[in-house]
Chain A
Amino acid sequence: MTESTTDRGAWRLIARRDFWVRLRERSFLISTLLNIAVISILVLARAYGGGGAGPSFDLGYVGGPAVAQGAAELGAKAGVTVRVHQLTDEQAADAALRDGSIDAVVVGDLLVAKSSIDTTLGGLVQASERNVRLAALLDQHGVTAEERSEANAPLGVQTLEPPPPAHRPENAQVAFVAVILLYGQLFGYGIWVASGVIEEKASRVVELLLSAIRPKQLLAGKIVGIGVLGLGQLIVVATFAIVLALVTGAIKVPLSAIGAAGLVVGWFILGFAFYASLFAAAGALASRMEELQNVIVPINLIILVSFFISIGALQNPDGTLVTVASLVPTSAPLAMPVRMVLGAAPAWQIALSLALIIASTILLVPAAARLYMGAILRSGGRVKIRDAWRAAA
């Protein structure tokens, strides 16, 4: 009669305790502030670092502005900012080059730089120079304006596949922030689950707890309590990042940022559900807090490798390794959101990835729970996985 309701209440009580106890811990405050600090640096670097929409250059000229201005126009079409500066004479140009206020200067027929010229800038100036000469030649031969525009008509453009989203560079930075956040959250809160389990084991309070409730309730309550805390922190930090990015103008497409934040939150829930029971089982195998680092090494490695693959995905979101990683449940919580933010994941891959991680979580949790139950009451040294598995049979 009342059994089922009280049973349901037990894991809630445990979740609430695990939530509040950690919320009041100083390490939680520190990690929240640290997250916010890192996010702020990334957002502000983007807003004021000038790296925003692509490379930018300062180009000087002495004499006629046509070539320099032409280079700036060509650059604008290619997403390169070229700021044009008029200089009075060669001495001034020389000084400006040496103090670094300009990257190169056009003096008559010469393109002058301090020691080397960026290939992008060089290419723009050369093309502009050609255009100017060509225009002079065409004038000389009396070519009409119609003939010119006909000759200048650009190639028609056609693609085999729909074009990638227009905001990829902007999205790459959003994805970078997302993967950093997800990695920190999955790892940090996973460790909190493991150390919470060890704390109960090492302090022996677990025997008293398990005389009142079932191990599954204790496990579920702990994972939910710590998970909700991690989720809450993530939402606070993500909200802060979006507001900061919009206020400083670091991000021009708010919807994509909010969408990315939603992805991060969603994948944290999936990833935490997948990893938390593993962390709990690992914690149950240890007897003392000193053994924490040892028992979580395998999980640690898997998350770390996934993290590095996902960082690689920022450059090449369509690569084979990255595509596989975004489907495999161990790395999907980090790799898939990157590909999704970059618009590189087709719908069927997203669906497959979701199906795989949900299915494997459903399979994994009972197995991890069994290890946990088999090991949680065994004190005095590391418990072997085989022993724990058999003990709970």
Chain B
Amino acid sequence: MLQLIELRRRFGDVVALDGLSFDVPEGRIVGFVGRNGSGKTTTMRITLGVLEADDGEVRWRDAPVDADARRRFGYMPEERGLYPKMHVLEQLVYLARLRGTPKDVARARALELLEVLEVIGDPQARMESLSLGNQQRVQLAASLVHAPDLLVLDEPFSGLDPVGVDVLAGVLQREARERGVAVVFSSHQLELVERLCDAVVLIDGGRVVASGTISELRAMRARNLWRVEVAGAGDAWWAAIPGVRLDDRNDGVVILELDDGADPQRVLDLARAEGDVRAFGPIEPSLAQLFREVVAG
């Protein structure tokens, strides 16, 4: 398990991280969500040791992260980049060897990754001769080539076409499920995070504002909204139940907000008495909605 404990970091007068803490268990995929400038990249850089924290600790498998542990981490920086003039395969093997992977193993794994990630082109081609999409895939291969125990990916999906997104999503799931890799990635594509992640960490202003599984996050939200569609219903039929208010209405569909004490079954009973109930159910907020709510305070 990766543990980030009370990380703090300032850049001059700007507080980038303000006591940030969260865990990434092995075999799990954790989505890291926050606005631009909320501290995601700083967190990842500190995790990889590229940047020093002013305070706080990064622990891996219950020990402070050292050079040995770090060699078993895979990283895809926000600022993409490999040697432009180096051959693709040679480059991947080199990066794996820098992290202590034997040459033969690195070569076999690099070739496998180039195939799995569907990198089109000659493995002997120069990096700069590849299309941007292919360069992005090679960059992903570079983070995976040494078969890491922890994957830290900064915006791995940005710049990928829908097919590329599916391919990468499949690779991440396989790494987590089959190899037990701890995966944490940042993304602004929240549907993707929702679909792919076992847990989500929402940060804002350099601190975690919410974290947990999607359902835990939903349970945490303040508002309890129900969507009701009743054919031929009159106006304000719900007003008879205490603790029920109208949130929104649209073309025969009403969104009702229920207080903690209010029983949804009472609402349903009343609705059936009113007319033909076509739809009734709680509104599962999307991650995007939760994010907006949480970040907006």
Binding site for B on A (CB under 8 A): 2-3, 6-7, 9-10, 13-14, 17, 21, 199-200, 203-214, 377, 379
Contacts and interface: CB of A to CB of B under 8 A. Distances in A.
The 3 closest A-B pairs by CB, nearest first: A204-B81, A211-B48, A204-B79
Interface of B: 45, 48-51, 66-68, 70-71, 73, 75, 77, 79-86, 94-95, 97-100, 142
A212 B84 contact: no
B282 to A, nearest CB: 43
Nearest to A5: B100
A6 B80 contact: no
Contacts of B81: 203-208
Q: Is the interface of A mostly helix, strand, loop or mixed?
A: helix
B82 A6 contact: no
A301 to B, nearest CB: 30
A207 B77 CA distance: 7
A208 B67 contact: no
Contacts of B71: 6, 212
Given A7-B67, A203-B84, A209-B98, 17 more contacts: A10-B98, A13-B98, A203-B82, A203-B83, A204-B80, A204-B81, A205-B81, A207-B45, A207-B50, A207-B81, A208-B81, A211-B49, A211-B70, A211-B77, A212-B95, A214-B67, A377-B50
Contact of B50 (A13, A203, A211): A211
26 contacts: A2-B100, A3-B67, A6-B67, A7-B67, A9-B100, A10-B98, A13-B97, A21-B85, A21-B86, A199-B83, A203-B81, A203-B82, A203-B84, A204-B80, A205-B81, A205-B82, A205-B83, A206-B81, A207-B50, A207-B77, A208-B77, A208-B82, A209-B98, A212-B99, A214-B67, A377-B50
Contacts of B75: 208, 211
B230 to A, nearest CB: 57
Contacts of A14: 98
A209 B84 CA distance: 14
A379 B79 CA distance: 10
Contacts of A13: 94, 97-98
B98 A213 contact: yes
A26 to B, nearest CB: 12
B50 A210 contact: yes
A2 to B, nearest CB: 7
Nearest to B86: A21
B47 to A, nearest CB: 9
Contacts of B95: 208-209, 212
B102 to A, nearest CB: 11
Contacts of B82: 203, 205, 208
